[in-house]
Chains A and B, each alone.
Chain A
Amino acid sequence: MTFEPVTGRYLTVTVQGRRQRIYVEMAGTGTPVLCLHTAGADTRQWRHILNDAELTATHRFFAFDMPWHGKSLPPEGFQTEEYLLTTDAYIETVLAVSHALGLDRPILAGCSMGGRIALQLAALHADRFAGFIAIEASDFQPAWYDIDWFHRPDAHGGEMGAALVSANISPHAPDAERWNTLWMFMQSGPGVFRGDLSFYTRDDSLIGRLARIDTTRTPVHLLVGAYDLTCTPEDARRTAAAIPGATCTVMDELGHFPMSEHPAGFRPFFADALARMKVADHV
């Protein structure tokens, strides 16, 4: 029997006065990198990076499931709550998990809503991180759909969510990884994708904060897939242009979930992004 080199553990943090049991996966040795999943999914999106022998030789990757997602339970009393993620709760969760893991200024790599919060953290808590890789991330995306579609008693929100987000997966993605990526959305808990989208499509507070990001202290690199309909290359370029010193690379054959939908295609772009973060070591 051969185990993968990925280890999964649980820890408990307090966020906005409530205890949250968090599932964390980790692998590798070296520079710490904290990885954030997209809306409606979980840490499994990072499975290929955590299994990458070369990248894990020089980096220690951590990926965790947000509360309500994957193997992190919702908080006590969730059964009568409407889950709606907020910027403040998201920021506090990332900082609490990073602190609980004992990380010293990790690189923060987030995709989609994870990329959005990475940029919020770059603006508000840059001292806690060494650099930011914002994947499929933009300043703000209003919804072109009704987020209430994804939480209703007469239909399966996960299946509808998966069918919708399939629009953002590149036709270059290997079929097996396309469906592995969609499976996470199909498994998402009731109302969780909707609650994530509430944060992603209604909070535009990042727009006014982009200019305060200091890339001379913490580099910011954006990665965006050409097949991403939600965060288009134009959206990412606009966002990067509003951050003095930020860089942006368009990935021609990738979509909105690059590390999960097309691992081999994403890998060189992510390795390049990690290399760009190293300038922070000399600041």
Chain B
Amino acid sequence: MRATLALMQSRLDDSPHLLRLGRLFSETVLIEVDGAEYYLTFRDGHLAAIAEGPSRKTPWRFALRTDADALAQFWQPRPRPGFHDLFGLVKIGRGRIDGDILTLVKNLRFFKEFMALPRTAPQPEETA
């Protein structure tokens, strides 16, 4: 997971539109995967630091708790229903979002697209 987060950090820096969307976002977000904690500190839209837990001292604004298999499915080019969106993971019982939800919603497009950065683009479909 640490390597994936580093990849996301790098892809974020290479995504000018995300940096523009997140330019006012300077918060710490907790990502918990199978109980392992990762504290992501964003500054002006950049992922400035990734700190592994556990920690009872690190304040965070909101948290996404899920499992590695759910994230692997979320990162598929065309995920199955429910695995296609962060709120889908919550809906099917494979994710939980805690904390200051309003801050998440105010920055929802930025955070959703950040979380989807490991996803590879799907091949174009043949359409009837």
By a beta-carbon cutoff of 8 Å, the part of chain A in contact with chain B is: 144-146, 149, 154-155, 159-160, 162-164, 166-167, 170-172, 174, 226-227, 229, 264-265, 267-268
Contact = CB atoms under 8 A, between A and B. Distances in A.
Interface stretch (B5-13, B27-35, B76-84): B76-84
Interface residues of B, number: 22
B106 to A, nearest CB: 5
B91 A149 contact: no
A240 B108 CA distance: 33
Contact of A171 (B84, B86, B112, B128): B84
A149 B81 contact: no
Interface string B94-128: 00000001100110110010000000001001011
B54 interface: no
B88 interface: yes
26 contacts: A144-B91, A146-B101, A149-B102, A155-B106, A159-B109, A160-B106, A162-B109, A164-B87, A166-B112, A167-B86, A167-B88, A171-B77, A171-B78, A171-B79, A172-B78, A174-B125, A174-B127, A227-B84, A229-B82, A229-B85, A229-B87, A229-B88, A229-B91, A264-B127, A267-B128, A268-B128
Contacts of B88: 167, 229
Contacts of A174: 125, 127
A119 B71 CA distance: 38
B85 to A, nearest CB: 4
A229 B77 CA distance: 19
